[in-house]
Structure 1
Amino acid sequence: MTARWRSVAVGAAAVGLVVGPVGTGAGAVYAWDAAAPAPAATVPAPSPTPAPTASSDQFPRLTPAVARQLDDAIRKVLAEAKIPGVMVSVSAPGKGEYVRSFGIADKATDAPMTTDLNMRIGSVTKTFTVTALLELVDDGKVGLDDPIGTYVDGVPNGDKITLRELAGMRSGLFNYSADEDFYKALTSDPDRPFTPQQLLAYSFKHPVLFAPNAKFDYCNTNLILLGLVVEKVSGVPLDTFIDREVVEPAGLKHTLFPIGAEFPSPHAHGYTNQTASGKTEDATDWNPSWGWAAGAMISDLSDLRSWAKTLATGTLLTPATQAERLDVVDALPGAGYGLGIFNVQGWIGHNGSLPGYGSLVIYLPESRATLVVLLNTDIGYEGQEPSTLFGEAITKILTPGRVYTLPAQPAS
């Protein structure tokens, strides 16, 4: 893909369809008042976070009638895009909550998707890696305007590219996951482990694309470098630091940074067509080390509901550092990107995609509303990420003045 917002992209895969039955909704609806190999994607940048306005009162109470509207909209996306399964959570203080799952978690057994399954979260991982970096900024151990060459040798333009530009996707470095040799290596042996240094080598053999800070370009290479910075400065492996300094303080119980292909049960099976044959395959046990600091993590619906608010409100950071994080630059119409975080029409958070899985974790400050979507395919539909389809359908109902949407782009 050339311009699709592919959170962790792997090669130039054509958009296709996963064939799977559309199941009935499972889970529960709760209401206070009532009885979810592509070349580097050009990521959308959000416009500045809107100040609370009268629209903050427009978020509807999540009554059974609204729940039925959401059910219908989600089932429609599931059927049209041929998505195997999805789980959705929406909540807002005083308005109630909606927690449902639809479709199947395993095409081999027809096991239903349920709301308690572990899922690979792709580029939502970036929000954890950048939070780790910003904690080090708050501790005075690194500066956002430090050049990456201070910490990692051999980076093209390493004496000019800053940590801020890496976190904000403005480095100009080539995206390793858009390299043809990387794509062949991954798809020919999806179980193989990759080291961060191997991933960087795929990037660094290409010339830089533009001068630092010249423009926005979504690039997984940036996050690999930031992961190495966290390791060098903290003196511990990235997974250890994130678990100790981000996951645990955030109170997350089912979120982890795997060091291999481990995938705690219960989990949904994931399906992709980013394969050597181009056919749809089960990617559940593919080794996510190729995504590392850019996309390897695992979580569940409950944890991500909590993380959405923690991330958007800056609970783990100083107010000054959170303000820098949310200082967005334009990326696509109606969307902006800050430091490892986006703002799409006021919804703050991140999406994620890697072979077999998709995610969307966002928070709307003016309504204090949280939306999380997790699904078990990365196969797009009509140029759109599957998670975007759900995000748009849901927010059209709940926040018509704040519709989460990213422009459809043709697959490449």
Structure 2
Amino acid sequence: MRRTPSRRLLAAALLVASVLAPMATMPATAAPSTGITRHDQDDVPRHGLGPEITERLDRAIAEVREQAGIPGVVVGLWMPGKGSYVRATGVADTVTREPMAVDSYVRIGSETKTFTVTALLELVDQGRIGLDDPIAKYVKGVPDGHRITLRQLAGMRSGLFPYTADADFTHDLLSAPERHFAPREVLRYGFRHPNTFGPGQDFQYSNSNLVLLGLVIEKVTGRKLADVIHERVLRPAGLHHTLFPQGNEFPEPHPRGYTDQTLSGEVEDVTNWNPSWAWAAGAMISNLHDLRRWAKIVATGELLSPETQAQRLRTLPTGYPGTTYGLGILETNGWIGHNGSIPGYETVTVYLPSQKATLVIMLNTDVMSEGQEPSTLLARAVTAIVTPDNVYDGSAATRP
């Protein structure tokens, strides 16, 4: 049965997936390869987790890859006092069979939200905005904007209709996936629908929320969002391999990305799609080295005041068991961070404070397997082995 793309298109990430129609998976790929290069010596495990755990992890990852038809994956796990595990397996290109590499750049989808909200919260710390300010103070024309607060936008509780769920948006994007979309242009697709509930009444994952917060940051700073994130988030965090692209530029090396979110419903190579439609909600690019650093920084609030970080981590129920959501950040069974999904790529970047452990997963497909995101399947399999009392269970929520 062919799946209609508009049923789940482009949510660019998070929380427990809805069960969707069955789909064909991509063919199995080549045998695992570590893919470690001289540029990744900081990521190479000097002290592994031991042969038994390593073998179990290798086997579990291989099983998920085969089950879900994942071309290539990079997994990084760091557990202070116990050791680490870094592997690149499978292929970066299903045509050339080039192996997946540890130093790959990937599109990180909704992990972008952690960067956007961090920039927003820095403005809170500076006293330039208030979390309980209405969005109408900064952006005109938002349905019920005089009642929707910045806090509700960051916490996915605004009730604004997700523009990615609009059928015309889906058609327009898939008809010309390399075109540029402006922030206010994508918002118009969502604003023509009634709000789904009153401000603060419920949880609904919506990229409309984050696009609005990006506009707030630009309004208050007088600068482009990409520049603000670079100067106020990436530079202080020491993230030299993370960027906010202006178009479809993509640093090398990067794997090819594969999705079935296409007009035909067939799996296609979408590496060069323009992520501008996701903007503040999902357009960024990073690599394993930087995501490892970022996991701890965002979870512990290194760039924010303790008071503001405490507000960020005040998570509320999502309606999905085991997963709560704060201000641009999720918590699932003790793991704090975010995941990302954008056509062709998925990521998970999370930190477990109780063990000071970090998990990063990057893969080059977003094709779902039996209604679940492949990144969630991998994260669940890995954490079931290394942190059985804290099994990751967050995945993409509403993919319209």
- The alignment's TM-score, normalised by the length of structure 2, stands at 0.92
Q: CA deviation at 1:5?
A: 11
CA displacement 1:252-295 (0-9 Å, x = unmatched)? 01000001111111111000010111111101000000100000
User: Which residue identity does 2:326 align to in structure 1?
Assistant: G
Give per-residue Cα distances to partners, 1:17-59, cap 9 Å, x unaligned. 1224142231466253x6xxxxxxxxxxxxxxxxxxxxxxxxx
Rounded Cα–Cα distance in structure 2 between residues aligned with 1:321 and 1:397: 34
What is the Cα deviation at residue 107 of structure 1? 1.1
| 1:191–1:285 Cα contact (<8 Å) kept | yes
- Work out the CA distance in 2 between the residues paired with 1:225 and 1:193: 18
- Give the C-alpha shift of residue 199 in structure 1: 0.6
Q: Distance in 1 between matches of 2:351 and 2:394?
A: 16
Pairing of 1:24-173 with structure 2 (within 5 A): 24-27=32-35, 30=45, 32=47, 62-173=49-160
Q: 1:336 aligns with which of 302, 324, 328?
A: 324
In structure 1, distance between residues paired with 2:275 and 2:153: 21
Offset, 1:320: 0.4
- 3-state SS, counterpart of residue 112 of structure 1: coil
Instruction: Give the number of aligned pairs.
Output: 382
Instruction: Tell me the equivalent position of 1:18.
Output: 26
Superimposed CA distance per residue, residues 43-100 of structure 1 (whole angstroms, 9 cap, x where no aligned partner): xxxxxxxxxxxxxxxxxxx112211110000000000101100000000212111110
Partner of 1:320: 307
Is the alpha carbon distance of 1:389 and 1:22 closer, same or farther for their aligned partners in structure 2, counting shifts above 3 Å? farther
1:351-383 Cα shifts (integer Å, max 9, x gaps): 000100000000000000000000000101011
Deviation at residue 410 of structure 1 after TM alignment: 11
Q: For residues 399 and 221 of structure 2, what CA distance do their matches in structure 1 show?
A: 40
1:405 to 2:397 alignment: no
* Native 8 Å contact 1:383 1:410 kept in 2: no
Measure, in 2, the Cα distance between the counterparts of 1:189 and 1:371.
35
Residue of structure 2 in register with 1:184 after alignment = 171
What pairs up with 1:344-383 in 2 under 5 angstroms? Answer: 344-383=332-371
Farther-moved stretch of structure 1 (294-303 vs 88-97): 88-97
CA deviation profile, 1:122-153 (whole Å, cap 9, x unmatched) = 00000000000000000000000000000000
Q: Structure 1 residues 303, 410: closer, same or farther in 2, change over 3 A?
A: closer
The alpha-carbon distance between structure 1 residues 7 and 407, as it changes in their structure 2 partners (threshold 3 A), is: closer
Question: What is the one-letter code of the residue matched to 1:352?
Answer: G
Instruction: Find the counterpart in structure 1 of residue 286 from structure 2.
Output: 299
- CA drift at 1:405: 1.4
What residue ranges of structure 1 are gaps of 5+ in the alignment?
A: 35-61
Other-structure match for 1:50:
none
* Residue of structure 2 equivalent to 1:7: 12
TM-score after normalising by structure 1: 0.89
**What letter corresponds to residue 259 of structure 2 in structure 1?**
T
Q: Is the 8 Å Cα contact of residues 272 and 356 (structure 1) preserved in structure 2?
A: yes
Which residue matches 1:51?
A: none
Verify the 8 A CA contact 2:160 2:208 in the aligned structure 1: yes
The letter of the residue matching 1:400 is P
Q: Distance in 2 between matches of 1:341 and 1:15?
A: 30
Match of 2:256 among 246, 269, 276: 269
Identical counterparts, % of pairs: 55
Letter of the 1:170 partner, please give it: R
1-structure distance, mates of 2:213, 2:184: 13
C-alpha contact (below 8 Å) 1:22/1:79 kept by paired residues = no
Q: Structure 1 residues 4, 339: closer, same or farther in 2, change over 3 A?
A: farther
- 1:238 matched to 2:225? The reply is yes
Contact in 2 for aligned 1:27/1:99 (Cα 8 Å):
no
Higher mean C-alpha deviation, range 86-95 or range 121-130: 86-95
* C-alpha distance in 2 between matches for 1:240 and 1:14: 40
Closer/same/farther in 2, CA of residues 209 and 189 from structure 1, 3 Å limit: same
The whole-number CA distance in structure 2 between the counterparts of 1:2 and 1:349 is 26
The whole-number CA distance in structure 2 between the counterparts of 1:5 and 1:288 is 10
SS of the equivalent of 2:59 reads helix
Matched to 2:308, the amino acid is T
- 1:219-258 aligned within 5 A: 219-258=206-245
CA pair 8-371 structure 1, distance change in 2 beyond 3 A: closer
CA shift for structure 1 position 188: 0.5
Change (3 A) 1:92 1:84: same
Rounded to whole Å, the distance in 1 between the matches of 2:350 and 2:317 is 18
